[in-house]
Chain A
């Protein structure tokens, strides 16, 4: 009896899909144009790989989807839920009301029902004020029939989740299970406004996530596949459908993560730079111990400041469809605009009228794409100049992402990676693995299951060593609960940051454990 899995990654230009066997060998792969509704592209890709794989459908056991549905909904301000925003923390926090600092158009959509209620905790877990349960049930009654999703954020909920859980209970009692409830403690860490923003965005995309998940499950069923479905998160690990529908915001930015993890798997490297060349941009990330290095900066989603941890990615406007221009004085410029998914109509080699980077490498003889005769007339000097700029821009970006002057391995993936040469400045070796074009879908398919703790610990209570062990143990247990194989769970990320001006050696500890799915 075989054991196959489907991996899908939705990008801006292409939706990539693969089927892997239990040894992670690629059985079939495809690249489909990403459609405007996203789902149609996914369904097409699913159908293609299943038809091409020719394996018994009942042996396809898992399907992993990394998708941009939620990101798109936020960026486009479309299909968002009717949200109520509940902050627990008064009398603290009144100085900055929820959604201050959020772009006005989004504030209008999401800011219709905003409440600040007494309660919340201090940094050490004491209560700021007793939770105002009476007010919460009044609010719940006011909201009947008006909203379908509620975002609850309590001060210092990363330290104590009690008030958020009590509030959740009150809303559920009054409004039933039909109304979705998002708790900030499940989403982010210390930093009230950023965590609250992320929780509000989460509440806003619950419907989108639900229809995406249902659509995907049904699409698989129509193909006769009854696989267990998972969604990719931004940290390169998986969520069940049930959890995705509750916390869809965690699917944001899983794309870059998938490509980095896929590149790692395909080359068997755990520390390297991953250069993913697409149609419009080249995204460079850093692989550290088989996971993407994360950014330490506040991340904005659709103009909203959040405290998500995202892969640390630098992008340059160089891709397969980047437009090449020659100014009157002879200087050559590249992009940053691209013909994108219209490459197959607009590039010279496809009979079009726009000079692109793809034409340049065909002219150089580095690749055979389309009709080579369309570019033989190109000026040699122009070709060399354009190519020089292309490589230089990517090399500069590579240098920006490195942490030392030492050359390090570079892995090239993505459909556009044919643009780049065998040798790059700063690279000790350039890997160009098989299946490089669908590395992201492979990354999606091989994702692990994780668990994480992130909160403030007082090191003085148990001592440093014991506390760190405790945090690691908690993370491992979370991972096992989420479905990871208890024997194979490992700590994949660990950080402790001492907090200035606090007693008891207060330290914020973040520990993440991950492991393969338990069979």
Chain B
């Protein structure tokens, strides 16, 4: 167990933006909520999955809905607490700790505000190791854990317990209720036991984010290349260096889909990279070469500062470095690829691990 203060939260937020792979919502709101909660309630306990008793009840906390709504209708902080209390009452067992279901983006930070207010520890783990757009895209689902019973709560005080036959139904019903509740709600979801966390969660993702954030922050003062540091920490690969040339966004069924074209510079001169995204970056390819495919991670970093750039923040002329990082092995199983691979997102591409695509030793 260790305590997280404001600096740790700042660093985690940067790491969360990077693992958000362009989506997941700006961690800014989650970060400020966590910082205010620390100001009011003191530092937050972070515990290792190994420290969690096997039979302890663990409930992840997350937001659901449109990040665009959340940046306007900021949570009260009570929603997550209401959701927790309702689920605790429903389960008839005390909740031992919370954790994020999603390491990337705003959801990575939201459990901290809840934990600070409730004096609960946060477990150093999550269910994605990155960001994904749907509730069943978690490693818990891959291992057969159920999203429900789950609770949705809004800031008005409404809450709703959902019990569904599977996670896909949970996603469908919760999505509809979210709209009625104002487009952004807090969830208490995927209740599980300590032993499930050890078996099914992706371990140590919050420390990983903190390390990423710290490396990028310290790069300038210690005079090293932030991107090299990030690649080392994440076992990632430098895929492409260039300048954003064109961005084409369109909306289909509520998702921000699009393509960005990046014109190569330096080593990639005379080449072009195409990035396909649906909230998150999903595929990176050049004209004749596939470079990285979901569920492996693709992040776009500012060439100078190493800071992650979101799909919304991508703009003409931005100089950037695109990196690819291997996802957790749980995603590379048949079920993992069926759940969050290129086929699920409608791309006619087979999944191949990034390290095979870029060629071993070319790191």
Listed in ascending order, the chain A residues whose CB lies under 8 Å from chain B are 89-97, 100-101, 120, 122-124, 126, 128-129, 155-156, 190-193, 293, 295-297, 312, 400-405, 497-503, 505, 507-508
Q: Can you name 20 extra interface pairs (CB under 8 A) apart from A91-B76, A128-B156, A401-B317?
A: A91-B78, A94-B76, A95-B75, A95-B77, A101-B32, A120-B73, A128-B155, A190-B68, A190-B71, A191-B71, A296-B313, A403-B246, A404-B245, A498-B256, A500-B251, A500-B255, A501-B255, A503-B179, A505-B251, A507-B251
* B29 interfacial contact with A, CB 8 Å: yes
Instruction: Write out the residue numbers on chain B whose beta carbons fall within 8 Å of the beta carbon of A312.
Output: 315
Check A93–B76 contact: CB distance below 8 A.
yes
Per a CB cutoff under 8 Å, which of B36, B183, B316 touches A403? B316
Check B317–A400 contact: CB distance below 8 A.
yes
* B199 interfacial contact with A, CB 8 Å: no
Check B254–A96 contact: CB distance below 8 A.
no
Q: What are the nearest 7 A-B pairs in CB distance?
A: A498-B251, A95-B77, A501-B66, A92-B155, A94-B76, A93-B74, A122-B182
Number of interface residues of B (CB under 8 A): 44
Listed in ascending order, the chain B residues whose CB lies under 8 Å from chain A are 29, 32-33, 35-37, 65-69, 71-78, 113, 155-157, 178-179, 182-183, 243, 245-246, 249-251, 254-256, 263, 279, 312-313, 315-317, 319
Q: In the complex, A91→B71 CA distance in Å?
A: 15
Instruction: Write out the residue numbers on chain B whose beta carbons fall within 8 Å of the beta carbon of A295.
Output: 315
Most chain B CB within a 10 A radius of its CB, from A297, A501, A507: A501
Check A97–B72 contact: CB distance below 8 A.
no
Instruction: Write out the residue numbers on chain A whose beta carbons fall within 8 Å of the beta carbon of B74.
Output: 89, 92-93, 95-96, 192-193
Most chain A CB within a 10 A radius of its CB, from B76, B256, B279: B76
Check A296–B315 contact: CB distance below 8 A.
yes
Instruction: Write out the residue numbers on chain B whose beta carbons fall within 8 Å of the beta carbon of A126.
Output: 182
Q: In the complex, A96→B106 CA distance in Å?
A: 14
Per a CB cutoff under 8 Å, which of A122, A124, A297, A502 touches B315? A297
Given A100-B32, A190-B72, residue A500 in contact with residue B77 (CB < 8 A): no
Check A96–B249 contact: CB distance below 8 A.
no
Instruction: Write out the residue numbers on chain A whose beta carbons fall within 8 Å of the beta carbon of B155.
Output: 91-93, 128
Nearest Cβ distance between residue A90 and chain B, in whole angstroms? 7
Measured CB to CB, the nearest residue on chain B to A500 is B256
Given A94-B78, A95-B113, residue A122 in contact with residue B32 (CB < 8 A): no
Q: In the complex, A128→B156 CA distance in Å?
A: 7
Instruction: Write out the residue numbers on chain B whose beta carbons fall within 8 Å of the beta carbon of A93.
Output: 73-76, 155
Check B249–A400 contact: CB distance below 8 A.
no
Measured CB to CB, the nearest residue on chain B to A501 is B66
Check A128–B67 contact: CB distance below 8 A.
no
Instruction: Write out the residue numbers on chain B whose beta carbons fall within 8 Å of the beta carbon of A122.
Output: 73, 182-183
Instruction: Write out the residue numbers on chain A whose beta carbons fall within 8 Å of the beta carbon of B256.
Output: 498, 500
Nearest Cβ distance between residue A260 and chain B, in whole angstroms? 16
Check A96–B32 contact: CB distance below 8 A.
yes
Check B263–A500 contact: CB distance below 8 A.
no
Q: In the complex, A403→B317 CA distance in Å?
A: 5
Nearest Cβ distance between residue B22 and chain A, in whole angstroms? 12
Instruction: Write out the residue numbers on chain B whose beta carbons fall within 8 Å of the beta carbon of A156.
Output: 72-73
Given A123-B183, A500-B256, residue A400 in contact with residue B319 (CB < 8 A): yes
Instruction: Write out the residue numbers on chain A whose beta carbons fall within 8 Å of the beta carbon of B183.
Output: 122-124, 501-502
Nearest Cβ distance between residue B36 and chain A, in whole angstroms? 6
Instruction: Write out the residue numbers on chain B whose beta carbons fall within 8 Å of the beta carbon of A89.
Output: 73-74
Check B76–A100 contact: CB distance below 8 A.
no
Instruction: Write out the residue numbers on chain B whose beta carbons fall within 8 Å of the beta carbon of A123.
Output: 66, 68-69, 72-73, 182-183
Check A128–B182 contact: CB distance below 8 A.
yes
Instruction: Write out the residue numbers on chain B whose beta carbons fall within 8 Å of the beta carbon of A400.
Output: 243, 317, 319
Show 9 residue pairs from A and B whose CB-CB distance is below 8 angstroms, ordered by the A residue. Answer: A91-B157, A92-B75, A95-B36, A122-B183, A123-B68, A124-B183, A155-B73, A498-B249, A500-B68
Measured CB to CB, the nearest residue on chain B to A405 is B263
Nearest Cβ distance between residue A163 and chain B, in whole angstroms? 13
Q: In the complex, A502→B77 CA distance in Å?
A: 22
Q: In the complex, A434→B318 CA distance in Å?
A: 33
Instruction: Write out the residue numbers on chain A whose beta carbons fall within 8 Å of the beta carbon of B178.
Output: 501
Check B72–A91 contact: CB distance below 8 A.
no
Nearest Cβ distance between residue A268 and chain B, in whole angstroms? 24
Check A94–B77 contact: CB distance below 8 A.
yes
Instruction: Write out the residue numbers on chain B whose beta carbons fall within 8 Å of the beta carbon of A92.
Output: 73-76, 155-156
